[in-house]
Structure 1
Amino acid sequence: MSDRLLDTPRRRLALVLLLGAFPWTVLVYDGGVEAFFAVGFVNTTAWRFVTLLDYLAVAPVASLPGRLLAWPVSAALWAAALASAALALTPREDRRVTAGALALAGVNQAWFALGFWTRANQLAVPIGAVLLLGGAVALARAGSEDRRRQS
């Protein structure tokens, strides 16, 4: 990705928004597919969308294993990156914060997806981990280019 693509605050905000629109983890198993997004998941067996808040309201959070909590944590980190990118519309954004939050969200999303690999007859594709980490690298590179130009 060219550093010039991220040279305006609106483009950086659009990138972070776009990263939340893709499915982060696609889980394929016998009889169905589930796609996990930043705000919820789609179950193709029943063709229903469950929001992240509904999931947390029904699931006993204290008893969930860490790998399942990694999804809501990554969503919160993505929301923090989104808020940080929105600050770019004012002169208050620090791209390192935005990139760091995206990187941490990507690591959490990888942990979430990898947790499903231990179960037989399931395939978890960590799309979001790759996209979020790629977005973090692109933002960090664009920020370092800006700092080099200013000095």
Structure 2
Amino acid sequence: MSTDLHHQADQHRLTMLRESLTDQFASQTARLTELTADTGDPAEAHTRGALIAATRQSLDHLAGALRRIAEGSYGLCERCEVSIPSERLEVRPQARFCVPCQQKAHGGPPTAGPPGGAGSGPHPPAPGLGGGDRWSVRILSS
């Protein structure tokens, strides 16, 4: 496939993604409007507050993804600037970070990746995969 066809395919995917994210944003905005309507039921206040917070966070993530598409930085990790694997973006289109950087940001122990973490580049390559953009999962048994 020629470079022009790749570019056109990428632009089409971004257009479709932008439309999907815009629809999700509108849906979440409507949900937030419904949630913030005062029902007067104090028993539901705590649950409603949690739902409002989650919806606002979702709106923030959607707006960020739409902004990154508009700026041309969508799909790049905000921390290490490596391309986020398409598999991750398919599952989580609002992703701002690659998996290793996401794990570092949340201080969690690495749950995936090569043993020992040795390698070159921003992330060590997984054995047999030839690059830091894919990871194998290690399952430890007791």
Question: What TM-score bracket applies, with the shorter chain setting the length?
Answer: 0.3 to 0.5
Give TM-score scaled by structure 1 length: 0.31
Give TM-score scaled by structure 2 length: 0.33
Larger radius of gyration: 2
Larger RCO (CA under 8 A, 6+ residues apart): 1
Q: When you count strand as a share of all residues, which structure comes out higher? A: 1
